[in-house]
Structure 1
């Protein structure tokens, strides 16, 4: 990169207290001086060819300095209406603040300092630079080589907030992280989409009657099986969010392995925990045996469980519920362009679209993610029913009933069996999938920008 010093001042101060004076230097004398300018102007060697096959070149005016900034913006609205559509903005953020990193990300977190901005700059994108008659500025951006601080948006960590990020045009990556959620208690096998099939062999007086059974969710005797609230840990991959006027962030490829889902009481449960399974039962039907038995009530024996359920989760999070964006040395910029521009030095996927654009270079570390409220996973239960059916239809998992159990079905005596349903084989290549949306995250409590004696809370 070629650099031309546009500001160079050499001053001398008389030790005796005389006023400062300046000495003019000619070009030859200037060439012998070494120093560093506060401001520098440069032309980047990088050239971008736009969609019209026109060359775009870049000129930057930079400040070689480290600045501190603590600021609050009530409303930031940029690019409203125009070519990108009426009644919307490219960027629309209410209660935006930039401060130093907080002591914590909880409800009592406070900014510990001002944000630190290293080498801020303004850059211009110019097409046809070598032709005066057609030269045109197609965009400019404000940025910095590094930003160390916390960007917050909104005032409250609640569902459906009316402030915060209402519209976002730009590019940012969220670093890979981990988290956990607690699921809502639900009932399994009580709807037509959750019916279960399997193989059984009924033994009656030495005779065996192989049958295939199917649960009947339409029967009043079918109460379903309780799926208690459980804690699920997950892994979120690095995720890129990029686009124009976005209101929702979509994160795919989140993986989770549920090691155990209790389907009945167990010895390590409290009486209250065991009680939640007391009324569970399924009504199953099969081809008649000896012209008499054709249905049975089935109950899970103590210790029954589903094991190793692998899941893939798609997470749709409203951007208005993302409040804390920690910038730990991340470079970033805010730009405006009349056409698509790939700014110099940006990430490979970061191409600024027409209009206003906000971008952050390095992945943003959101930290450990934890949902504040229990998550409803009932949408995945039909898939689980099919997986359980696959397990029970496997010949090695055939259910066997004794003579007394088989004859007892004629008197509606429940058949109780302990089932350990291991779904690892069935969900390794094709995990169960579920979509979750707009969860309140514990680490997204809004950190008040209250630094020193100045408060904006």
Structure 2
């Protein structure tokens, strides 16, 4: 039996050359006509503007990876201590890389089907190592830097374990380059009272008993209760933003625009309702402003209380928001095919293929090429808008004192004779006002009301564990 099997193998080997897929020898001319793909690829290039030779060794392969790193600290001490003080270029705790999430929950945080996140793997296409060599002669040649990276990464990178107000893990220090894609979001404003402080005084024109007068609100009067500004849902658009620098602990996003069409300043008019973005049921019943002006008649009528009539509103308020967010509060970074690298260099280097603005600084540097989609951003707590109210007061005054081409007031509050006489007995004057502050809070004219938000807890940043067995980190 053994002899028959051995004979069969010898016969098969001797006849293998008869098949078209058998290996045959080729001369140089024949080899030059054959196309193929090597597993390892070496690229050399020279950048004359930097005086640097780049030598890149890449692997034509798709790698799958699921990894947890308890602490990633690079560049601690070193060259950047002199300018930035003690610390690390990159300091990240509880870092996880897995497959990309399959969906999101109602808050926008990532979710995974099947066996969960720990059963998934990130896809890394064409990983590489690259060296930057300065100088051409053997005597002067030196390594200016090197980097590890990949042309394409698909997966979910999470940083930290808990979405809390003051996390002690996640990104503590970041040195590198990262783009956050344009996205939408919303916040809930905290109810406030307008017109009860000196920096919220407003002015305007009134006409009573045939007299035109400039009135000024008086927050010092005991009867001045101010005007209720209700809690509202405010939508905004965050523009694409580049986060880059050395040993950053926070990201600053400016130029966030939010246009509020109508803020009610009194109860809704009969047959109508308050805007749908008003939260709760505001109580305007006790609102009033105390105003002063020149006497209307024989030294009388120098002051009056004013109440907003039903249906009054502040319209077309434009906000210019700056968002300053601790990087430790950004936990979920989905990588949807972006290239990325981690490098170390002793001088500024623009690595081949990187964005024009991505200039790697001395020390360790982490970079992601394509914009990262953070998803819909919604804050969990109410935003205090008291800082905006003095700016709103200035816009209201500009609207109520605006004049026509002939120099006469454009917006005059008419007070009939009964209301004028009633004001002498401290009876409030009630008028419906719809104050359009759009022209006076314009983005084009850089007069939009400015608001800065600091370290807001975001609903979509809850972290999904990359562990089996219910552990937060493993």
- Please report the TM-score for the alignment, with normalisation by the length of structure 2: 0.85
Alignment partner for residue 135 of structure 1, among 126, 138, 141?
141
Aligned residues of 1:215 and 1:283 also touching (Cα < 8 A):
yes
Matches within 5 A, 1:260-339: 260-266=262-268, 267-268=272-273, 276-289=283-296, 290-339=298-347
Q: Give the total of aligned pairs.
A: 430
Shift of 1:31: 4.5
SS at match of 2:343: strand
Distance 1:365 1:338, change over 3 A: same
Aligned residues of 1:265 and 1:273 also touching (Cα < 8 A):
no
Distance 1:195 1:349, change over 3 A: same
Residue 375 (str. 1) matches residue 377 (str. 2): no
Matches within 5 A, 1:175-254: 175-203=181-209, 208-254=210-256
Shift of 1:36: 2.2
- The answer for the alignment partner of 2:19 in structure 1 is none
Aligned residues of 1:113 and 1:451 also touching (Cα < 8 A):
no
Alignment partner for residue 155 of structure 2, among 149, 167, 174?
149
Aligned residues of 1:263 and 1:305 also touching (Cα < 8 A):
yes
Q: Distance in 1 between matches of 2:471 and 2:309?
A: 63
Q: Distance in 2 between matches of 1:453 and 1:390?
A: 59
Shift of 1:310: 1.3
Residue 392 (str. 1) matches residue 400 (str. 2): yes
SS at match of 1:408: helix
Deviations 1:217-272 (A, max 9, x none): 111111111100111111111111111111111111111110110111114259x9
- The answer for the alignment partner of 2:75 in structure 1 is 79
Shift of 1:35: 3.0
- The answer for the alignment partner of 1:47 in structure 2 is 47
Q: Distance in 2 between matches of 1:58 and 1:238?
A: 30
- The answer for the alignment partner of 2:111 in structure 1 is 109
Distance 1:95 1:277, change over 3 A: same
Shift of 1:17: 9.4
Deviations 1:426-448 (A, max 9, x none): 22332221111111111111122
Q: Distance in 2 between matches of 1:434 and 1:126?
A: 47
Alignment partner for residue 345 of structure 1, among 341, 349, 353?
353
Aligned residues of 1:154 and 1:323 also touching (Cα < 8 A):
yes
Q: Distance in 2 between matches of 1:350 and 1:372?
A: 33
Aligned residues of 1:48 and 1:342 also touching (Cα < 8 A):
no
- Please report the TM-score for the alignment, with normalisation by the length of structure 1: 0.88
Deviations 1:181-221 (A, max 9, x none): 11111111111010010000112xxxx12110111111111
Shift of 1:454: 9.7
Considering only aligned residues, what root-mean-square deviation do their CA atoms show, in Å? 2.6
Deviations 1:89-132 (A, max 9, x none): 1001111111111133446723372100000000000000x200
Aligned residues of 2:465 and 2:471 also touching (Cα < 8 A):
no
Residue 125 (str. 1) matches residue 125 (str. 2): no
Q: Distance in 1 between matches of 2:343 and 2:26?
A: 39
Mark the runs of 5 or more structure 1 residues left unpaired by the alignment: 1-12
Aligned residues of 2:161 and 2:472 also touching (Cα < 8 A):
no
Distance 1:43 1:30, change over 3 A: farther
Q: Distance in 1 between matches of 2:103 and 2:39?
A: 35
- The answer for the alignment partner of 2:37 in structure 1 is 36
SS at match of 1:293: coil
More strand by share: 1
SS at match of 1:161: coil
SS at match of 1:291: coil
Mark the runs of 5 or more structure 2 residues left unpaired by the alignment: 1-8, 15-22, 403-408
Residue 420 (str. 1) matches residue 416 (str. 2): no
SS at match of 2:356: coil
Distance 1:253 1:61, change over 3 A: same
- The answer for the alignment partner of 2:18 in structure 1 is none
- The answer for the alignment partner of 1:411 in structure 2 is 425
SS at match of 1:377: coil
**Which stretch of structure 1 is more off in the superposition, 61-70 or 216-225?**
216-225
**Which stretch of structure 1 is more off in the superposition, 141-150 or 304-313?**
304-313
Shift of 1:133: 0.7
